[in-house]
Structure formats: C-alpha cells, structure tokens
C-alpha cells in the first residue's frame, strides 16, 4: 500500500479540489470559443494557455507531491520539491489571465512577468525534486 506523508496527502487533496476550479474555467473557455464572451485573438490564445498550464501543472503537482516522499529531502528543500509545481500552477496561469485583461487588448500588460516568475518557481521545484530523486 502506498503511504504518503501528511504534507503529500494534504497537498494532493488541495490539488484535486483545485482541479474542479480548472473545470469551471474550461466552461468559461467554451463561452469564449463560442463567441459568448467578447475577446480578441490574443485574449483567446492567452485564455487557452492559462487554462492549459493550470490543468497540466495541477496534474504534475500531484505527481511531485508523491515523488517527494521517495527522496531524503527535508526542510526547505522538501518544501520546494513538493510545492514548486503547485505554486507555478497558480502563478504562471495568473500571468496569462491577468496580462490579457481589458476590453480589446491585443498585447500583454505588465503582469506578463507573472508567467516568468512562475517559470522560475517551476524550474526550482523540478530541479530540486530531480536532484533529490537522483541522490536518494
């Protein structure tokens, strides 16, 4: 039987509940695609990118939550390995969504920097977990 740490169990529960919010975002995305919500081509592309990244990172976050338990990482390193991808699942999509807000927008606003911060957080989590698994 698979036994998870308390941290992994709690994070997995949160991520599964978060998947429901992504599902509701998918419903909104279908409204954009059907022309029920006015959006530029740029806004449609960024809505798809934000939604896709959120779903993929939440799924990957479930995996990293469990794999962290297979390492000898502890303290801050374990937290980065376990939480990096789930945090990126919030920050990076937020960059896509918030940088495309506003009627008629055709280019990202300054909040595009959230995408790049999310990418750094994602990389930190994946590298920490990868090294932790290779050295376990």
- Hunting for tokens 């698994």 — which residue is that? 133
Please give the pLDDT value at position 25. Answer: 86
Largest Cα span, the chain = 53
Average pLDDT of the segment spanning 16-43: 92
Average pLDDT of the segment spanning 44-71: 96
Q: Do the beta carbons of residue 77 and residue 126 sit within 8 Å?
A: no
Q: Do the beta carbons of residue 63 and residue 105 sit within 8 Å?
A: no
135 has a pLDDT exceeding 80:
yes
Neighbour tally for 64: CB within 10 Å = 23
- Res. 1 pLDDT band, cuts 50 70 90: low
117 has a pLDDT exceeding 70:
yes
The residue ranking higher by pLDDT, 29 or 98, is 98
Mean per-residue pLDDT of the chain = 95
Please report how many Cα atoms fall inside a 13 Å half-sphere around the Cα of residue 103, on the Cβ side: 0
59 has a pLDDT exceeding 90:
yes
The residue ranking higher by pLDDT, 93 or 28, is 93
Model's pTM, two decimal places? 0.92
Strands (E), the chain: none
């Amino acid at each position: 039987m698979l036994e998870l740490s308390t941290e992994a169990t709690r994070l997995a529960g949160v991520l599964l509940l978060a998947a429901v919010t992504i599902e509701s975002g998918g419903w909104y995305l279908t409204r954009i695609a059907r022309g029920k919500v006015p959006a530029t081509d740029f806004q449609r592309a960024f809505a798809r990118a934000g939604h896709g990244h959120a779903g993929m990172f939440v799924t990957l976050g479930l995996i990293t939550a469990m794999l962290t338990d297979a390492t000898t990482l502890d303290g801050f390193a374990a937290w980065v390995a376990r939480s990096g991808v789930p945090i990126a699942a919030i920050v990076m999509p937020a960059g896509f969504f918030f940088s495309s807000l506003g009627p008629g927008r055709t280019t990202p606003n300054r909040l595009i920097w959230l995408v790049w911060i999310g990418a750094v957080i994602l990389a930190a989590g994946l590298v920490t977990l990868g090294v932790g698994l290779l050295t376990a």
